[in-house]
Structure 1
């Protein structure tokens, strides 16, 4: 009854405001991740860092992200999506500012770990909340559009790197990264708690109040709640506490395996490539400023990739779109690694960004749809957390290969292979969830 009225709400200002509020969190996350990638070449020169040490600056943040995703996802299923979202945004904002005060390599590693913890915790919680409010027919499009804020954040990072870092030094990037702390107040004003979460906790009257409030805002005639509550709404299906073992029960076991492998592959390749991208372009013989220009162009290509994925997920479905974009990411990354000129480097780099970030948009759509409300944030958090293991390994892996004198070609053969493998995994093990309610997909 409550969920039916929630599902029947017309798409309106509330949904777009929620998209903007959660999307800003995504933008700030991405901006921070991008800034460290652009800062690394200058930091390495100033502190005389080895490629291995540069790799660990990227990897330590991913270790924090893995732990943050798992713990925040678990916590969000217990104390609420809104609270955890707010806490994690505040955490990474403050820690980013502390990076500007880092006095040596070890202190920077510590602060980057805290930043990563906050970032990793915020992402799966935000997408869970958005997926629980977005209408079924447009849910895929909304989540991919949410993920598109990541591309805008990288674009902001590239602009900061191009315009400010050469003039004011690398610390200015981290000071700018403290801005999201002010954003917490916006969250408090405009982000409601998830109706589905409130129902699982037996807070039925609060859930009803939110639905009625949304109906008024969206111009829907408000009627008294009539009829019996469903099993989900009564809580008979969700009485037990969310547990890790539930992810491995039927029918979620195969879904969990598919998601974990897909997340590992996409995170490994993304962070291995993009954390090193300015440095790799620089090593190809381009000046630092010229490297920033090239990476800026490649970053702009991410946005149409998101929008293409947002259109396709509700037409051909999540499974085929994700598999296609992963496969094309592999093809493009192979040719990027073997580019012989600035022109081919730019073309394949832009195409690689287009397909890779489009795939990210789809996987964030696909993941929370695979689990019921009681373990949705938990399942999303564990999938993202396991994926971050790939992110921990990748930057250090690239650093060690470069230190051993291996060129770009073999490094990108590895990334291309990983993309192709996870594309096959998604196609072989994935199920389609296009235009179905969350309860229908998860079997609630």
Structure 2
């Protein structure tokens, strides 16, 4: 039995849940920062007299950084290792978030938001790749969706910080709290092993065998077949961007890029602007923060439900179903109404949209082999970030006028329905298959 087979047949145990917690906390801190800027924007708009276009550019600048970070970090993770890049990108965004609290004008904040985005964009696909490469095939979907569920915890933390801190201590304090994750890097360096698949692809079979032997010992596995090849015989695998467009990967790449673009466009267009949009509808800032906090809570059951379905009915059906229902919810949310109706459709929109996010992060790294897995995931995320760059600016221009709210959410309804159709018609199912089977 080869090393990869030994890894995949390990019983689910303490190590897998520890890895989920360690990578998940990094994911949570990412989401906390992303959420904080959404709550800070309406306050900044009043304090700095910002136009809606300027507010949109602040959101877009962070997403531009995420696009650049996703590409560079994905490439670096396939070259230097998942663990190192995960820690470095987490450190970059934490420090840059603290600098945002020191921003003295609009232009300086744009620069710092780009740096924050760079770290955020680099960390997310690398963490998902690391979790996917250590998860057993039968539980891989559940583990990666649960990893993504930490995003909901981060947004919830952002909502709580904004509700409890910003009205009383100012927006700067919210950014300073967002810098705390820098301390977490040191824990990551000790707690997270390098990816076994990455080590094997780089010809470091002895290091990979040592990690697996330790995991087997911790899991109580005493009888295993040792690898049938020499530990010195592995050769480092090469990787190239062009391979994403090889005949066997071209369709997968196109589908992933389209879906990532649409899901990021809709998510950041909706949720980056949500507090500001509700303020424009006449709600006070404090009441807006309260409503968005309730809507954010709906993200968590959305993730958990997607984690339940993704290994049962499959990635393709779960993703298409959640995207379509997110579209329906966005349409009715855009029609407005009394607070109870707004909260109902807003919560459903949050439930299904974030459930879909959990599935796309499961699905993406499964479609590429180890040598280009982080590269492929990084590029898909980067293309998505360009959707995120565009969306806040588009919303900033569309929201003017008495029917702006309806127009914005009608647009997002169309985008979500389109990518749901792409997944359903062109997506490839990966449920229950090993990473080697899928990429062969």
Q: Which residue of 2 aligns with 1:377?
A: 374
Aligned-partner Cα distance in 1 for 2:230–2:279: 61
Question: Structure 1 220/338 Cα, relative in aligned 2: closer, same or farther at 3 Å?
Answer: same
In structure 2, what is the equivalent of residue 25 of structure 1? 26
Give me the whole-angstrom Cα distance separating, in 1, the residues matched to 2:410 and 2:385. Answer: 21
Q: Does 1:128 align with 2:129?
A: yes
Could you tell me how far 1:404 is from its partner in structure 2? Answer: 5.8
Instruction: Give yes or no for contact 1:216–1:222 (8 Å, CA) kept in 2.
Output: no
1:423 aligns with 2:424: no
Instruction: Give how far 1:226 is off.
Output: 4.3
Deviations 1:160-216 (A, max 9, x none): 011111110101110001111000011011000000000000000000000000011
**Structure 1 runs of 4+ with >3 Å offset:** 233-236, 403-406
Name the CA distance, whole Å, in 1 between partners of 2:278 and 2:234.
Answer: 55
Deviations 1:337-364 (A, max 9, x none): 0122111110000000000000000000
**1:271-291 deviation line (CA, Å, top 9, x unaligned):** 000000011111111111000
| Residues paired across the two proteins, number | 439
What is the CA–CA distance in structure 1 between the aligned matches of 2:348 and 2:46, rounded to whole Å? 30
* 1:138-217 matched pairs, under 5 angstroms: 138-217=139-218
Corresponding position of 2:80: 79
Deviates more, 1:215-224 or 1:425-434: 215-224
Pair 226,412 (structure 1): closer, same or farther in 2 beyond 3 Å: closer
Give how far 1:440 is off: 0.5
Report SS of the residue matched to 2:247: coil
User: Would you say 1:317 and 2:314 are equivalent positions?
Assistant: yes
Residue of 392, 396, 399 corresponding to 2:396: 399
CA RMSD of aligned residues (A): 1.3
Per-residue CA shift, 1:225-251, capped at 9, x if unaligned?
Answer: 242379xx9656x63x21110000021
Is the aligned partner of 1:259 residue 2:256?
yes
* Equivalence for 1:327: 324
CA displacement at 1:223 relative to structure 2: 4.5
SS at match of 1:305: helix
**Residues 205, 234 of structure 2: 8 Å contact kept:** no
Which consecutive residues of structure 1, in runs of 5 or more, have no partner in the other structure?
none
Q: Which residue number corresponds to residue 14 of structure 1? A: 15
Indicate yes or no: 2:363 matched with 1:366.
yes
Tell me what 1:432 maps to.
429
Indicate conservation of the 8 Å contact 1:7/1:136, yes or no. Answer: yes
Q: Summarize deviations over 1:5-26 as a string: whole Å, max 9, x none.
A: 1011000000000000000010
Answer whether contact 2:144 2:361 (CA < 8 A) is retained.
yes
CA–CA separation in structure 2 for the residues paired with 1:346 and 1:361: 22
**Cα 1:226–1:438, aligned 2, differ >3 Å: closer, same or farther?**
closer
Please list the CA deviations of residues 61-100 of structure 1 after superposition, one character each: whole Å capped at 9, or x if unmatched: 0000000001100110000000100110000000000000
Could you tell me how far apart the structure 2 residues matched to 1:7 and 1:120 are? 28
CA distance in 1, matches of 2:221, 2:298: 39
With structure 1 as the length reference, what TM-score do the two structures score? 0.97
Q: Distance in 2 between matches of 1:100 and 1:440?
A: 48
Query: How do 1:45-56 residues align onto structure 2 when only pairs under 5 Å count?
Result: 45-56=46-57
Pick one of 340, 344, 350 that aligns with 1:343. 340
- In 1, the alpha carbon distance for the partners of 2:428 and 2:225 equals 37
Find the aligned partners of 2:278 and 2:118 in 1 and give their Cα distance. 29
Kindly indicate whether the alpha-carbon contact (under 8 Å) linking 1:212 and 1:222 is maintained by their aligned counterparts in 2: no
What CA distance in whole angstroms lies between the structure 2 residues aligned with 1:358 and 1:260? 19
Deviations 1:28-48 (Å, cap 9, x if unpaired)?
A: 000000000000011110000
Contact residue 142 and residue 308 of structure 2 kept, 8 A: yes
TM-score (norm 2): 0.98
Equivalent residue in structure 2 for 1:413, among 395, 406, 410:
410
CA contact (8 A) 2:161 2:174 kept: yes
* Contact 2:398–2:407 (8 Å) recurs in 1: no
Deviation at 1:401?
1.3
Secondary structure in 2 matching 1:251 = helix
8 Å contact 1:14–1:214 — kept in the other structure? yes
In structure 2, stretches of 5+ residues that fail to align are none
Question: 1:390 aligns to what SS in structure 2?
Answer: helix
